[in-house]
């Protein structure tokens, strides 16, 4: 990554706009891809970013950890013997630990996990687990045997490489899980203070994550509808609640064969017990829109916006056909408000031009597949020199329609007697009612709500924010590797998901921090860039004091310095060595 600038003249004054770019190979070409727009890097932007950084991670580190006591030491150096040793990744774990402390998790874990007879504080092991999941997701075995020794966490946490092993990490998981409720309650309050996150509107969705192995010791590991397209594997379902801005508030884990609709009442009651009920608006998709759930929400006075199944559109065919009452709320999106004939709920009818094009293309695609398959079947029957078995032909027809269900209702297919050698022929009739309804309903969907004091635009925009919950699942699966689950015990699975949840809190905190600093919303790019900043031991042979070892942090390059400046982070230049690492003469200097 490197810096590029563009000069633009406006009102007789030249403005220099900076951006971070990286080279990306596309086929045989290498193009420059913009990572973040840095603007003019003016003083006002830097001040705003630093103010947020101070609220999040405090001022630059001044602790003894970054003061090795050698600032005033003057000795002659033998240049021939100078060498560099012990290079470790510093920038990404430094940022992870700063976020861990900034959202108050270090202080909370120290309070919840007091030091007992163990030699290593469990709060430090929790920091290692979450930082590893945040920076380089991997198993506990990989953390202990490879990742930890490649990073500067041993210096930042004052925790030696040999003190982090897989058994201690597993026990750290066990200790952390007992405090899930306290962790969620703390994060809700702390992140509201940092980012002005409001949790009146709650977005709720369910996903699944699968196991490698039989997971025989976990009763929640069951086979069910797999969002990961792994029906061959057992899974658990995760129900996640996020704020309107996408910040996670809490989650619950259900058995893998639990239907989405059976999770709603549990989640609503659990979240309201932790965060309060007054003023809450629940937004979720059509998987939770069972008649029982909607009746329960109405009877208990809870406000909601819920997507409805596509099949309910037919109840409002006349409203869809009427041209009046539609209002544009977004480019290519129109909505209309009406009333549900049975419950008197507010119904928001929506139609999207992009969605219409997509659904029409899908109908056309599956119709062509059915037509081509029927042509091949008809040709085979015509070529047959002996009577065909009608049962076998009907099975083939059923298989064709099953594989192309989206357009199956368009065709009425019958097997009629015929005087040809095969003894029958196919008769295909197109269902015009299907085409008429497709032309009316393509691109349309409906929402149900009991909120009467919001406009149609507010209702639609609130529901569209449900993409924040979907994005949270994508990040946890693709960036934080919540899947697959290798643990076999139920408590360890719960702990694994909790660590992924806490890592996502750090991820979202960094994303919101970036956004406010004008650096886009790609935490992985920032982490990868800062991971190149290393800590190294500079070994200096002296003429009078033997050998001096200085643990230094490499100087950021121009692009890294711009990122750090925009975020308001000041990296330390040196770190203190542990007592046992100091040479005897250096300790007495």
* 548, 441: one domain: no
* 336, 316: one domain: yes
For the stretch 112-128, pLDDT in tens is 988 877 788 999 999 99
Q: Residue 278 — very low, low, confident or very high, per pLDDT cuts 50/70/90?
A: low
- Detail the DSSP E strand segments found in 264-332: 281-284, 303-307, 327-330
* 444, 554: one domain: no
User: What does the pLDDT average to over 400-426?
Assistant: 89
* 82, 130: one domain: no
Distance of alpha carbon 65 from alpha carbon 71, whole angstroms:
14
* 328, 436: one domain: yes
* 362, 420: one domain: yes
The pLDDT assigned to 57 comes to 67
The domain containing residue 380 runs over which residues?
308-451
Q: Is residue 110 part of a domain?
A: yes
Domain-ending residue, one of 451, 467, 493: 451
Does residue 545 surpass a pLDDT of 90?
no
The pLDDT assigned to 376 comes to 93
420 touches 408 (CB < 8 A): no
Does residue 21 surpass a pLDDT of 80?
no
The pLDDT assigned to 30 comes to 74
For the stretch 95-105, pLDDT in tens is 999 999 989 99
Q: Is residue 370 part of a domain?
A: yes
The pLDDT assigned to 585 comes to 39
Q: In what side-by-side order are the strands of the sheet with 29-39?
A: 2-10, 13-26, 29-39
Q: Is residue 286 part of a domain?
A: no
Average pLDDT of the chain, as a whole number: 86
Backbone angles phi, psi at 84, to 5 degrees: -110, 135
More confident: 67 or 354: 354
For 271-280, the CB contacts below 8 A with 24+ separation are: 271/202, 271/241, 274/181, 274/184, 274/185, 274/188, 274/250, 275/185, 275/188, 275/199, 275/249, 275/250, 277/302, 279/200, 280/200, 280/201, 280/202
* 321, 415: one domain: yes
Count of domains observed in the chain? 3
For the stretch 302-327, pLDDT in tens is 999 999 998 899 999 999 999 999 99
* 67, 101: one domain: no
User: What does the pLDDT average to over 476-492?
Assistant: 92
Encoded tokens for 391:
């049962």
Encoded tokens for 243:
């704020």
Domain-ending residue, one of 505, 524, 543: 524
Q: Is residue 404 part of a domain?
A: yes
Q: Residue 588 — very low, low, confident or very high, per pLDDT cuts 50/70/90?
A: very low
User: What does the pLDDT average to over 265-279?
Assistant: 83
Q: Is residue 424 part of a domain?
A: yes
Q: Is residue 187 part of a domain?
A: no
* 553, 434: one domain: no
* 330, 412: one domain: yes
The pLDDT assigned to 20 comes to 66
Does residue 575 surpass a pLDDT of 90?
no
Does residue 338 surpass a pLDDT of 90?
yes
- Length of the chain, in residues: 589
* 324, 434: one domain: yes
Does residue 466 surpass a pLDDT of 50?
yes
The pLDDT assigned to 574 comes to 83
More confident: 193 or 433: 433
The pLDDT assigned to 416 comes to 87
The pLDDT assigned to 63 comes to 42
Encoded tokens for 404:
């192309």
- Cis amide bond preceding 119, omega within 30: no
For the stretch 50-78, pLDDT in tens is 666 776 666 544 444 555 555 556 777 77
Q: Is residue 135 part of a domain?
A: yes
Lowest mean pLDDT across 160-164, 180-184, 361-365, 555-559: 555-559
For the stretch 131-143, pLDDT in tens is 999 999 999 999 9
For the stretch 229-255, pLDDT in tens is 999 999 999 999 998 888 899 999 999
The pLDDT assigned to 60 comes to 47
* 70, 133: one domain: no
Strand 303-307 with 281-284, pairing: parallel
User: What does the pLDDT average to over 518-527?
Assistant: 82
Strand 303-307 with 333-339, pairing: unpaired
Domain-ending residue, one of 497, 524, 551: 524
The pLDDT assigned to 584 comes to 42
Q: Is residue 499 part of a domain?
A: no
Which of 124, 131, 138, 58 is closest to 93 using CA atoms?
131
Does residue 88 surpass a pLDDT of 80?
yes
Backbone angles phi, psi at 416, to 5 degrees: -105, 145
The pLDDT assigned to 589 comes to 40
The pLDDT assigned to 133 comes to 95
How many Cα atoms sit within 13 Å of 365 on the Cβ side? 10
Query: CA of 12: how far to CAs of 9, 39, 52, 534, 540, in Å?
Result: 6, 19, 34, 44, 55
Vertex 523, ends 518 and 526: CA angle to 5°? 80
């Amino acid at each position: 990554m490197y810096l590029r600038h563009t000069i633009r003249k406006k009102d007789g004054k030249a403005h220099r706009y900076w951006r971070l770019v990286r080279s990306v190979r596309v086929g045989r070409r290498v193009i420059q891809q913009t990572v973040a727009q840095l603007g003019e890097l003016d003083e006002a932007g830097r001040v705003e970013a630093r103010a947020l950084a101070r609220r999040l991670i405090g001022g630059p580190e001044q602790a003894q950890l970054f003061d090795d006591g050698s600032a005033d030491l003057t000795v002659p150096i033998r240049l021939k013997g100078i060498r560099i040793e012990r290079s470790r990744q510093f920038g990404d774990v430094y940022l992870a630990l700063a976020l861990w402390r900034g959202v108050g998790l270090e202080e909370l874990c120290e309070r919840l996990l007091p030091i007992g007879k163990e030699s290593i504080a469990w709060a430090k092991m929790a920091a290692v687990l979450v930082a590893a999941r945040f920076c380089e997701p991997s198993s506990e075995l990989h953390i202990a045997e490879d990742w930890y020794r490649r990073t500067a966490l041993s210096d930042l946490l004052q925790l030696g490489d040999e003190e982090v092993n897989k058994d201690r990490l597993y026990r750290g998981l066990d200790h952390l899980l007992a405090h899930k409720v306290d962790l969620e309650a703390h994060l809700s309050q702390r992140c509201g203070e940092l980012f002005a996150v409001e949790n009146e509107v709650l977005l709720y969705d369910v996903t699944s994550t699968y196991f490698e192995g039989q997971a025989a010791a976990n009763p929640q590991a069951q086979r069910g509808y797999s969002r990961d397209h792994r029906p061959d594997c057992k899974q658990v379902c995760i129900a996640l609640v996020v704020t309107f801005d996408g910040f996670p508030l809490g989650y619950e884990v259900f058995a893998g064969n639990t239907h989405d609709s059976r999770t709603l009442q549990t989640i609503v009651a659990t979240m309201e017990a932790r965060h309060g009920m007054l003023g809450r608006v629940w937004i979720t998709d059509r998987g939770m829109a069972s008649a029982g759930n909607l009746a329960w929400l109405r009877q208990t006075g809870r406000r909601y916006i819920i997507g409805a199944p596509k099949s309910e559109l037919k109840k409002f065919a006349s409203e869809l056909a009427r041209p009046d009452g539609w209002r544009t709320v977004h480019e290519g999106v129109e909505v209309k408000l009406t009333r549900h004939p049975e419950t008197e709920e507010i119904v928001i009818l929506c139609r999207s031009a992009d969605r219409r094009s997509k659904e029409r293309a899908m109908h056309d695609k599956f119709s062509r597949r059915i037509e081509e398959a029927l042509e091949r079947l008809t040709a085979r029957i015509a070529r047959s020199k002996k009577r065909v078995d009608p049962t076998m032909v009907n099975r083939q027809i059923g298989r064709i329609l099953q594989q192309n269900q989206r357009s199956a209702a368009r065709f009425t297919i019958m097997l009629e007697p015929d005087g040809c050698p095969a003894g029958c022929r196919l008769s295909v009739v197109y269902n015009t009612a299907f085409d008429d309804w497709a032309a009316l309903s393509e691109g349309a969907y409906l929402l149900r709500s009991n909120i009467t004091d919001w406009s149609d635009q507010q209702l639609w925009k609130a529901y569209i924010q449900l993409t924040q919950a979907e994005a949270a699942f994508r990040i946890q699966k693709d960036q934080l590797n919540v899947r697959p689950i290798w643990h076999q015990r139920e408590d360890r699975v719960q702990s694994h998901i909790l660590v992924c949840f806490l890592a996502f809190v750090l991820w979202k905190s960094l994303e919101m921090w970036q956004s406010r600093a004008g650096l886009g919303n790609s935490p992985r790019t920032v982490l990868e860039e800062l991971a190149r900043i290393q800590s190294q031991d500079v070994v200096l042979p002296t003429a009078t004091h033997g050998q001096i070892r200085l643990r230094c942090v490499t100087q950021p390059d121009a692009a890294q310095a711009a990122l750090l400046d925009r975020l308001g982070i000041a990296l330390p230049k040196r770190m203190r060595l542990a007592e046992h690492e100091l040479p005897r003469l250096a300790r007495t200097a």
